């Protein structure tokens, strides 16, 4: 993949966490996506494996890019690991 900032070559890797990985507008006291309406979930939490999102790093300009279209960056989802949190999240958002 070519870096969208400098045009250099990017290397594929992962961003990994023992918690869910999500993007939000700002840091919140309750950081989980279900408590943040506009959150973008990059990787659901798997109780066995944590979370992992595919990412690309450019060494030249020190940028990391995550393509989250259709949830394709979620490595747990790709591996077929379902998340209990996804069910809870859907229930919570229906109430809001």
Question: What's the confidence (pLDDT) of residue 26?
Answer: 78
Q: What is the pLDDT of residue 86?
A: 56
Q: Could you read off the pLDDT tens digit of each residue along the chain, which spans 96 residues?
A: 999 999 999 999 999 998 888 888 877 776 667 667 788 888 888 877 889 999 999 999 999 999 998 888 998 888 876 555 555 555 565 555
Q: Is 3 helix (H, G, I), strand (E, B) or coil?
A: coil
Give a yes or no: residue 67 inside a domain.
yes
Tally of domains in the chain: 1
4 lies in a domain?
no
Is the residue at 3 inside a domain?
A: no
How far apart (Å, rounded) are the C-alpha atoms in residues 36 and 23? 10
Domain of 76? 11-95
Residue 6, domain member (yes or no): no
User: Given phi > 0 = left and psi -120 to 50 = alpha, else beta, which region is 80?
Assistant: left
Residue 77 is assigned to a structural domain of this protein = yes
Q: What is the pLDDT of residue 58?
A: 98
Give domain status of residue 2, yes or no: no
**pLDDT at position 82, please?**
58
């Amino acid at each position: 993949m070519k870096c969208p900032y400098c045009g250099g070559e990017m290397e594929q890797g992962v961003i990994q966490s023992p918690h869910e990985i999500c993007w939000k507008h700002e840091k919140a006291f309750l950081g989980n996506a279900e408590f943040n309406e506009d959150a973008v979930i990059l990787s659901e939490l798997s109780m066995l494996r944590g979370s992992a999102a595919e990412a690309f790093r450019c060494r030249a300009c020190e940028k990391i890019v995550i393509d989250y279209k259709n949830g394709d960056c979620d490595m747990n989802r790709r591996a077929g690991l379902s998340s209990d949190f996804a069910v809870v999240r859907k229930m919570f958002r229906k109430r809001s």
